[in-house]
Structures are given as structure tokens and as C-alpha cells.
Chains A and B, each alone.
Chain A
Amino acid sequence: MSIVLPLDEEQRDALQELLNISMGQAANSLAQLIETKIDISIPKISAVTPTQLYSLLFETEDSFYTRQSFLGDVHGEVMSVLSRAGLTEVATLMDYDDPLSKEDIQEIILELCNILAGACLAGLSDQLELTTNLNMPTLFQPDKSNFDDLKWQHSLVMEVQFVIAISSFSMRVVFCLDDESLARMKATLDELLA
């Protein structure tokens, strides 16, 4: 990506480390709840344009998408991409009965996002000593043309992937922050680094 990150190298490293810890906590929480092993990828931090965000998230085939906004000291949105494959196994782990109705599937998707995004966000804001409140997640059917019309130029995204070991299920969680929140987070990171 050609755009210069709004974070310097030190800030970036610190954020990556913090993310790593909170993602680990999130994975642990979910693992505890559904009693299975969960692997996480190394978090990626980058700056994107709306079009890049669209291709980063929504050009994945065979997936479900959700979004969830958060308010508090920092404002932003969490978007998740969940694979269709392996969802049935996860449903069984979550104590749902076969066969799954359309509503069951929607509920599972929303719950999974809520748990993972919620845990990540809670971990991150805990370590940065910021308060955040996550709103209800909703299913999302993105439209490319809408993304091209978005007002913002660049956004900081933090991306992490969860893979459930025993099934083919995987899920990507992407955090996006607005400009004001980014400034606040940078300040907090600087305080931590000082």
C-alpha cells in the first residue's frame, strides 16, 4: 500500500502488540465457551481508501458479512467476514440443533461476531484505558458503488483472522476508526510509550 500510515513505527509496533494480546484474549474467551481450539493470525495494521476497504473485506466469495459500531472514548466500526464453510460444525459446538434454519444461521453469525469483536475491543480498550461500548451487530450486504461514494479519504484498519482448528470455519474481524478517534488513540499510545 502506497499510503503513509498515520502512525509512526513505534506507535505501530505498540498497537500491534496490544492487538495481539487482546486478540489472544478474545480467542481464549470463545475457545472457553465452545470448548475447542482457536488459532489467530498476526494482526495487520494498514491505512486504506474506501475502495481498498471494499476489496479487503467484501470480495471474499461464499461469506457472510456483519457490521457493528462502537462509541465511547473512541468511535468506529467493526466489520466481520465469516466463511460459510464449517458453520454447521461451529453451530454444533455452540449447542444448536441440526438442521439449522435460516434464522438460526443468522443468529449464530451475529453471536459469533458479537463475541469476537466484543472481546477484541474490550481487550484493546482495557489496555489503552479507554472506555468503549459496542452496539448491536447487524447483517450487512455491502454495495460497491456506495463505498465509492464514501466521504472519508483514508482510514486506519486493524485486521485479524480467527480459524477454528477442527472445522474449515474462519472469520476475519476488521476494526476501522474515525479521524478524531485515531488522534486520541495516537495520544494514548504516546503516553504508554513515554
Chain B
Amino acid sequence: MFEQLVGKLPVGIGIVDESFNVVYLNDFFLDRLPHELRKNYKETPVTDLFHGQGKFLKRRLKSVFVLQHPSFSYWEQRPHIFPFKSSRPITGEETQMYQNMEILPVKDKATGQRYACIFLQDVTAQASYFRAQQKLSEALKKEHEAQRKLIRKLDTAQSQLIQAEKMASTGQLAAGIAHEINNPIGFVNANLNTLGQYASHLISICDGVYSHIENFNDELNEQIEALYQSNHYELLKEDITELIEESTDGLTRVKDIVENLKNFSLENSEGVQTVDICTVCNQLITLISAQYSTPQYKFDCELEKVEVMGNPGPLKQALMNVMINAAQAIDTKGVIKLSVQESGDRVIIKILDSGCGIPAQHLKRVFEPFFTTKPEGQGQGLGLSVAYTAIEQHQGKISISSKEAKGTVVEISIPKQPSHSKVNSSESVTEPSDIVQEEV
């Protein structure tokens, strides 16, 4: 009865002697032997019966006989010790059986003969389930990673949007102020002109009186002379014209700045249009030099006009962000040079400063959003990343090179005519395939 029971057990049981010859096999093993071998398998080396991991099996059997201690093997490390097919030959996905093996030392009590007993477990179902789980968890991990990337991208886009909005509202504010200032400047300017004329009239009157001085009597003469003296007429006459001229100059400058501010910020004309880079650069220099007066500004362009097709708002903002960085890099003395060149169908804008430069380890990160070396609260680390996005939208390139304590060069290259297909096609491509899928 015991023999029957052992024979029918759903695990493989095989017994080998010390020369690795098979003494007994249960049905689990026998069912998987070729027909012609089933009758006379005894006294054959186990490695001859089952070609597979012979070397491994011998090693493990040896260890069991030497140490008289069980040995284990798992499917994870060694899935197929015996070359058996899966127990599901028709429907199974696995073609080979996954096996766990245990070899035990046994001893015949009557003869004292030592044997090794091989237990073999079919764990194909377990293994394939485990592997499926693993695949699933890997797929999940990948998906998770992709999502995280997307979220990071969204974060960046959002903060750039916030920044852009801030700039836009600052611009509107500036435009409002510029408009308000324009009115008083108008009448101050007009009044100043009239004042200049009145002053020259007054001076002619005084001069006229003085030239007829000998026609008066001595008493009057003395009184007039004293009046001129006490009011410092000579000084007054010399200074008044100069004062008025200086004031007119100053006023003209204020007018220029306000005008530029208006032009620069009141850019509600969204969309692609012709932009003259030279005008933009000149406006920029006026604007930025008003705020940062330390550096010397130079503009270098051989052409009168360099026109590109682009969106003026983002373009100006990009250039402005780069220029502000350049201006902030100069502490006490230095030069900022803006140069514009045409090169084939592209325009190259270089912004060079002789400022403090950027350390090499920071250089590759300057376009990253939120990267800043300024103390907290003084910079958001968005300027260059906004510039980068704006230039990329124009299918351009922005690159930066810098040497510490020497200065920095930012080179921007944009096509004069961006290929329109790219700008407007983002939505139209995906739609047809969606429709097809719906129908299926």
C-alpha cells in the first residue's frame, strides 16, 4: 500500500545509490521517461536517464552523500533541473516545467547502504504567476515614473505661466503709469519752452535798460546799478539759459523712457508678426540702462533693420531676461555688448557682459526652472528658463558660455521665417486616429 501511495504522490520521488545509479522512481518521474526506458531504468546513472543539468545534479548528490545533510534548489535560481515539459502541454504558456528540488540522505536500516532521495516539485503555476506579477509591477513602476515626469513638466509649465502672467500684469501697470506720466510731461514741456522764451525776453529788456543807462540822471543811474548788483544780474543772465536747456534735455530723456516703456509693455498684439530686432534691442538698452546704470552699454549692428517673423511679447521678454542677468552680473564696472547679425536665413543675437561669470558646475543647470544662486526671495530662478522656452517656441536655439570673473556670452539664434507647419499643427494630427478607434 505504501509503495502505491508513494508512486501516486504528486511530487517526484527518486532514489539513487552512492554511484548515482537509480534505484527507484515514482510515477511522477516514470510518466516523463521515454517509453522504451520505463521497464529497465534501474541501475542506470540518473544523469543518463535525464539529460539536463547533469553536472549540477552530480555535484548536489555528492554533497548530500559527503555531508549527510539535505540540499535544496529553487526554481528562481535554477528553474529546469530535469528536462520535463510543462504539465499543461496544450493550454499552458510555459513550455518547460519549473522545479523546486530537495535531496535527502537516507539509509537502509537492514543493509546500512546509503542512498539519496530526490524530491521534485512542479512549481510551474507558481512560477508563472510570480513572473506575471513581477512583469506587472515593473510595468506599474514604469508608468509611475512616466507620470512623475509628466507632473514635473506640468509644474514647470505652470510656474512659467505664472511668471509670464506676472510679467504681463507688470507690463500693464507700467503702461498705465507711462500714460499717466505722459500728460504732465506734455504740459511741463510746453511750459518749459514758453518759460525759455519769456526768459530771453526778460534778459533783452534788462540788457536794453542797461544800454541806455547814461541817459538817466545820476541818482537813477545809481539806483539801477544797485538793483542789478543786488540781484546778481550777470550770474543770472549766464545761468538761466543753461538751466532751462538742461531741464529740456532731462525732460526729453524722461519722455524717451516712458515712450519705450509703453512700446515694450503694451504688447497686447498676440500672434506672429514682423518684429524688428534692432528696434527691440535699442528699446531694451534704454529701459535697462535706466534701472542698471553701472554698466556701459554698446549696441553693434551693421544693418539698419533686422526683421524676423515672431511673437513680439515672448521674444522681448526672452531678450530682456538675458539682458537683466547680464546687467546684474556687473558689480562696479563693466561693459554689456549687444550685437545682431544676419547669417543666412537666421538672425544671431549675442549678449556679452564682462561681469562675474557663472561657475562651471552651475552652467549646465542655468536653463532649469527654479535654478538660482541668489539668496531666497531675490530670484525665482525662472528668467533663463522662460527665455529658453520662448526661444524654443520660435524654433531657435539659445546657448551660454561663461568664464568665472571674465564674463558671459549668451548666443540666441532664431530663424527669420519659422516653418508654420510646426506652429499650428499640434492639434490636427492626433484627431483622425482617435475617430478610427472610436468606430472600431
Stretch at the interface among A4-12, A41-49, A107-115, A149-157: A107-115
* Residues 108-141 (chain A) with a chain B CB within 8 angstroms: 110-111, 114-115, 118-119, 122, 134, 136-137
Q: Which of B52-107 contact A (CB under 8 A)?
A: 55, 59, 62-63, 66-74, 76-78, 102
In angstroms, Cα B69 to Cα A115, docked, is 7
The answer to whether residues A33 and B66 also contact, given A103-B78, A110-B77 and a CB cut-off of 8 A, is yes
Interface status of A92 (Cβ within 8 A of chain B): no
Instruction: Name the CB-closest residue of A to B71.
Output: A114
The distance from the CB of B79 to the nearest CB of chain A, in whole angstroms, is 9
Q: Using Cβ atoms and an 8 Å threshold, which residues of chain B touch A114?
A: 69-72
Q: Is the CB of A103 within 8 A of B77?
A: yes
Q: Which among B55, B69, B70, B74 is the interface contact of A29 at CB below 8 angstroms? A: B69
Q: What are the residues of chain B within 8 A of A110 when measuring CB–CB?
A: 72, 74, 77
For residue B76, which residues in chain A have a CB less than 8 angstroms away from its CB? 103, 106
Residue A60 is within 8 A (CB to CB) of chain B in the complex: no
Residue contact B63 to A134, C-beta cutoff 8 Å = no
A75 to B62, CA, bound (A): 28
Considering the chains assembled together, what is the distance between the CA atoms of A33 and B58 in angstroms?
13
Evaluate contact between B102 and A115: CB separation under 8 angstroms: no
B67-A33 in contact (CB<8A): yes
Q: Which residue of chain B lies nearest to A108 when distances are taken between CB atoms in the complex?
A: B77
- What is the size, in residues, of chain A's interface with B at 8 Å between Cβ atoms? 20
- CB-CB nearest in chain A for B104: A133
Are the C-beta atoms of B69 and A118 separated by less than 8 Å? yes
| A25 nearest CB neighbor, chain B only | B67
**When the two chains form the complex, which single residue of A29, A95, A107, A137 contacts B67, counting CB atoms closer than 8 Å?**
A29
Contact, CB under 8 Å: A95 / B78:
no
A119 lies within 8 A of B73 (CB):
no
A32 interfacial contact with B, CB 8 Å: yes
Inter-chain contacts of B66 with A (CB < 8 A): 29, 32-33
Contact with B along A98-109 (1 / 0, CB 8 A): 000001101100
A94 to B59, CA, bound (A): 9
* Docked complex Cα distance between A171 and B276 (Å): 76
User: A134 CA to B68 CA in the complex, in Å?
Assistant: 13
Q: Which residue of the partner chain A has the closest CB to B67?
A: A29
Q: B residues 100-120 with Cβ under 8 Å of A?
A: 102
User: Once the chains are docked, how many angstroms separate the CA of A11 from the CA of B355?
Assistant: 80
Tell me the smallest distance from the CB of A149 to a CB of chain B, in Å. 25
| Shortest CB distance B410–A (Å) | 47
| B69 cross-chain contacts in A, Cβ below 8 A | 29, 114-115, 118-119, 122
A29 to B71, CA, bound (A): 14
Name the CB-closest residue of B to A68: B72
Residues of B within 8 Å of A106, CB to CB, are: 76-77
- Per-residue 0/1 for B31-67: is the Cβ within 8 Å of any A Cβ (1 yes, 0 no)? 0000000000000000000000001000100110011
- Does B78 contact A136, Cβ atoms closer than 8 Å? no
Bound-state CA distance A106–B75 (Å) is 12
Do B71 and A111 have beta carbons less than 8 Å apart? yes
Measured between beta carbons, the chain B residues less than 8 angstroms from A95 are 55, 59
Q: Which residues of A3-47 are within 8 A (CB) of B? A: 29-30, 32-33
Q: Residues of A contacting B70 with CB < 8 Å?
A: 114, 118, 134
Q: Which residues in A have their C-beta under 8 angstroms from that of B62?
A: 33
Which of B55, B70, B73, B77 gathers the greatest number of chain A CB atoms within 10 Å?
Answer: B77
Residue pair B67, A118 in contact (C-beta under 8 Å)? yes
A150-176 contact mask (Cβ, 8 Å, vs B): 1 or 0: 000000000000000000000000000
Task: Give Cα A169–Cα B48 distance, bound, in whole angstroms.
Answer: 36
Residues of A within 8 A of B102 (CB): 136
- Among candidates B67, B72, B77, B78, residue contacting A119 with C-beta atoms closer than 8 Å: B67
Complex CA–CA separation, A128 to B411 (angstroms): 84
Question: Within the complex, which residue of B63, B68, B72, B78 is in contact with A137, where a contact is CB–CB below 8 Å?
Answer: B72
User: Do B77 and A115 have beta carbons less than 8 Å apart?
Assistant: no
Are B74's CB and A115's CB within 8 A? no
Which chain B residues have a beta carbon within 8 Å of chain A's beta carbons? 55, 59, 62-63, 66-74, 76-78, 102
What are 10 inter-chain pairs, A to B, with CB distance below 8 A? Answer: A95-B55, A95-B59, A103-B76, A103-B77, A104-B77, A107-B73, A107-B77, A110-B77, A136-B72, A137-B72
Shortest 5 CB-CB contacts between residues of A and residues of B: A107-B77, A118-B69, A103-B77, A136-B72, A29-B67
